[in-house]
Each structure stands twice: as structure tokens, then as C-alpha cells.
Amino acid sequence: MAHVWGNILILVFAHFVGSQGNQCGEPTKYPDRRLDEKYHHISDFNHDDNVEYNCAPGYRRTGGSRISFCKEGRWTPSDLTCEMVKCPDIKIINSKQFSKIVRYNTTVDITCEQGFILRGAQHLRCELNGSWTPDVPTCEPVRCSAPLMVNGKIQSGVKQHYKPLENLTVSCTEGYDLIGLSLVTCGSDGQWQRLPECRPEVRCSAPLMVNGKIQSGVKLHYKPLENVTVSCTEGYDLIGSSLVTCGPQGQWERLPECRFKVSLTGNCGPAPRYPHAHLRDEYSPTQREHTAEARLRYKCTIGHRLAGAVYCPPPPLVRNADMFDRTYEQVPFGYMVSYRCRTGSLIGAKRIHCTKNGTWSAPPPECRGKQ
């Protein structure tokens, strides 16, 4: 009996050893193939088990079986054939290619020869399907398109395209100044070099000289750096230079001033002149001298009104009194009227004036007493 059990144990051990000897370990690795993902978590394989291979990234299948079997502890060779993915050679006329490798995932830089410009992408990549992305560019001769001159035009040499180093002349339309050179050159990059700009003309209007005038060079507008000579009317002294220049911003530089001449007698000279205003009728514009503390009144010419002025209502009438400087219109700040009773005595202010608040300085007086 013991002999029988011994034989059984020997057979079991032999079967165990035999089955262990028929198992396979990790499947064979290949540089151009990868084990299918579903087998990645399995470490031991039994006799007659099989695994599948796929072509590695950058390779594509050209034939053979994907299957390998475990036979008596060894993996049968995989006859799957995988070919490296390659993109076609890049042939761009008048270009430089900075990489000769054309397999999958390779990046190629394209640069054009001098005198040519790249139309399209500079960097290309070889894709898994064996094509380049983006599309292969071209190298075209450098040309400058006709320049676009806002508020300007091409003066000479007009055509659709220009070669590098070709020149043309540009100018601005009326009312605009050319900022830059009128002669421009087509650059090697297909761009115009130092293309000028047309800006609205900077002009100075005729200078406004209060109590003065333009002596020479009279016109409506002046260009920067143009000069005019000015002077003052009689009775005024010129404070500053008589020669004034139109500045680059359209303003007169150092415009002088006309001031009243100082009289040795302490009196004032002729009445000053103001734009759109003239002396009231009771004053003489030709009077050459006015005594100290003399007052002059002006009124605006027809179509103009005193800007920013304060006005009072017409001065109040007083019964049985005469009013001097009487008016029936609104009067400006500073206007003064005086009263004199025909009979009786004057009670109140003899003179009242229009204040800065637009009211009279005092209530109107009264005439009381003998009627």
C-alpha cells in the first residue's frame, strides 16, 4: 500500500513540475511593436495562452499576425511587420530646410533664400498618417504692394508691385502735411521702409492784436515758421518783439501786447479798442487824451452781446425827479445813474449803480417837500 501512495505522489509532483515548466513569463519586447494594453496586468501565462501586439507609435502595420503563443515555456516569435511612418521629402524651391529627418513627430523649420519671402507656416510636423501639418509653404519673390497712403497718394512710379530697393515718390492731398521723406524704398522683407504719414496741416490764424495790427505779411493762415510784423495803434506801446513766428502747434510764439502809453500829465491816451465793440455815441473815438478817472462806456456791435456780463433791470423811475444817463434797457454791471428833484428835497441815494449781483446798489430815492 505504501508503494502505491509513493507512486501517486511521484506522478503528482511530475505533473506539477511539468506544468510549471510550460508556463511563460513576460511576453517578448520589440522596438517597433507594443503589447496590447489588455495584457499589461498579467504576469504569468500558461501553455497555449496567446497575446496580441500592435505597431508602436510612429509605425504602421504592413503585414503578419499580431498573435504570439506560449509554447512549452517559450513565446513564439511575432511575425507582425511594422514600418516606420515617414513623411515625404519637403521640396520647396528657393528655401532652406533645417532638418533632414522626416519620420513621425519630427518638426522641420523652413526658411527662404534671400530675396524670397515665406508664404505659409515656418514650422511643419510629420503626422501619424504620413503627412505634414500645416500645409507645406512656398517661397515667393519678395514684392512690396503699392503703399496705402491715408490722405496721400503716389506721386510717381505707380504700379501694382515693386521689387526690393525700388523707389517711388509720395505726397499728401491738399490740407495735409507730409511727415517724413517723400522718397520711399521697398525693403527686403516686402515692407516699405520709413513710409511717411500725412497729418492735417498745422496753421496759425491771423494774429489778433488788441489795439494793434499786422504791419506786413497779411493773410488768413500761416504755416509753421512763417513770420509777420505787428505794430500798435496810436496811443499804445508795443511790449515785446514786433516780429512774431507761427509755432509748430499752430500758435503764435511770444505774441506781443499793446499797452496804454503812460502820459507825463497823468492822463490816459485814446480810448482802447476791443473786437466787436465800440464806444457809445456820447464819447468821441478820436479824442487823443482822457483825464484821470475818466470813464468810458462801450456797446457791442450788432449781432454780438457782452459775454459773461452781469445785467441789472432798467433803472427805476422816481416821481418828480430827473434821471441822468437814463436808459430803458437792461444795463451791465457798473452802470451808474443819478437823480435830481425838480421840486422838493432828495431823500436817499443821489447815485445808484448796477452791482455784480445784478441788482441796484440802493433803493431809488424820493423827492419830498414842496410840490
Contact 264, 248 (CB under 8 A): no
Q: Measured at the alpha carbon of residue 52, what is the angle toward residues 47 and 58, in degrees to the nearest 5? A: 150
Residues of the chain with pLDDT under 70: 1-21, 98-100, 262-266, 292-293, 303-308, 326-328, 370-371
pLDDT of residue 265: 65
pLDDT of residue 343: 86
Q: Measured at the alpha carbon of residue 200, what is the angle toward residues 199 and 205, in degrees to the nearest 5? A: 140
Annotation: CATH topology of 33-84 = Complement Module; domain 1 (2.10.70)
Name, in order, each residue with C-beta under 8 angstroms of 138's C-beta and a sequence gap of 6 or more. Answer: 92, 93, 118, 119, 120
pLDDT of residue 336: 85
Note the pTM of the prediction, 2 decimals.
Answer: 0.40
pLDDT of residue 262: 65
Annotation: CATH topology of 144-200 = Complement Module; domain 1 (2.10.70)
Annotation: CATH topology of 311-368 = Complement Module; domain 1 (2.10.70)
What span, in angstroms and rounded, lies between the C-alpha atoms of 113 and 141?
9
For the structural domain made of 204-284+295-300, what CATH number should be given? Answer: 2.10.70.10
pLDDT of residue 234: 81
Locate the domains of the chain by residue range: 33-84, 144-200, 204-284+295-300, 311-368
SS3 at position 298: strand
HEC per residue, 206-225: CCCCCCEEEEECCCCEECCC
144-200 shares its CATH topology with 311-368? yes
Within 10 angstroms of residue 205's Cβ, the number of other Cβ atoms is 12
pLDDT of residue 10: 42
